[in-house]
Amino acid sequence: MTDDQPRPEPFAPRATAAELDDLRARLRATRWPDAPEDAGWSLGTDVGYLRELVAYWADGFDWPAQEAALNRLPRFRTTVGGLGIHYVHARAVAPSGPVLPLVLTHGWPDSFWRYTKVITLLTDPGAHGGDPADAFDVVVPDLPGYGYSDRPGRPLDSVAVAGLWARLMSGHGYERFGAAGGDLGSHVSRYLALDHPDRVVAVHRMDAGVPVFGGDPAELTPEEREFIQGAAAWGATEGAYAAIHRTKPQTAAAGLTDSPAGLAAWIVEKLRSWSDCDGDVERRFSKDEILTNLTIYWLTGTIGSSMRMYQANAAIPPAQLARRVEVPSGFALFRGDLVRPPRVWLERTANVVRVTEPESGGHFAPFEEPERYAQELREFFRPYRR
């Protein structure tokens, strides 16, 4: 580690019996809302499914077993920029060539959980049908205010988090590295490439973020105009959560921090509607997987701090949003993700060297399609290992 960054400490949290007893008692005491007849998922989370999930969370879900599995990952905490940051740091196994460090950044509503299925696929490709020459050293941090990282006193935006990640990578001696992510992680990866182009060899993203264009609309192609209109339409019908996060996150946080059933409703609806699951969330996430994500949020008390990052990002100056990424950029636009940008828009905003459109997978592709996502990263970063 560098002189100004403390040595990382191994990290293996264990929930207490009192914490789990309190969680189960709250779940069993849930005060249920009514719902219109046959509403299903049309008005938000289906109450019938939520009752089923909550019942299993209270009386079937084995958090200690899930926690033990997570603790088998090489997890650490260190202080960066005055904040305690939790991260997985997994080194390449038996590489047969130069090892490229890779920082993977998650988004909302999750944590390092998003990448748990791809870590060994990336560090040890030879054991999973891949080429050992494609092995990475993988760093997967929890964003500040998410998971087991500290909650900042004031929300940090993606620009500030990118600066923290650059320092985290320096602390491990990684002066050249790749960056990848989706959702907020796409935003952070973008600013890593913008602000540290001498260090980020290439950047891979699963989306291009919310489109922002301050020029003459006549300059846009029909495909770009359709993309911007589609994003606006999606925001009008599906973006209420983001409006709350940007404007009044503390109001929602009061209920979601107190009620595990409310927390489940807030998050599971997004796992369903943003994934490539054809309306059946358990086609992509088992109950145990869903509840692992939820229990991390519950035990760390981070739903409020996770939402506040939206407010910080909403204040990023337009000039920052308009910057073009000159670092070699790749995009994997998974079929089941949210509004997908046309290539012409990607080329307007970045130095595009690769675009793929995988036929399956959605917003949580590293979890939904881990083998496919890992292969995307292996192929994209292969030319940048020298």
Q: Which one of 87, 115, 297, 310 is the catalytic residue?
A: 310
Active site residue 183: yes
DSSP, collapsed to helix, strand or coil, labels residue 313 as helix
Bridging pattern class, strands 100-105 and 9-10:
unpaired
At residue 27, the 3 state secondary structure works out as helix
- Which of 183, 207, 276, 337 is labelled catalytic? 183
Q: What residue has token string 């996502």?
A: 373
> Phi, psi (5° rounding) for residue 248?
-135, 55
Residue 83 has a CB neighbour count (10 Å cut-off) of 17
Query: Buried b / exposed e across 133-169, counting CB within 10 Å, b at 16+?
Result: ebbbbbbbbbbbbbbbbbbbeebbbbbbbbbbbbebb
Q: How far apart are CA 170 and CA 199, in angstroms?
A: 10
Q: How far is CA 173 from CA 98, 156, 170, 368, 377, in A?
A: 15, 25, 5, 32, 22
Q: Which residues are catalytic?
A: 183, 310, 363
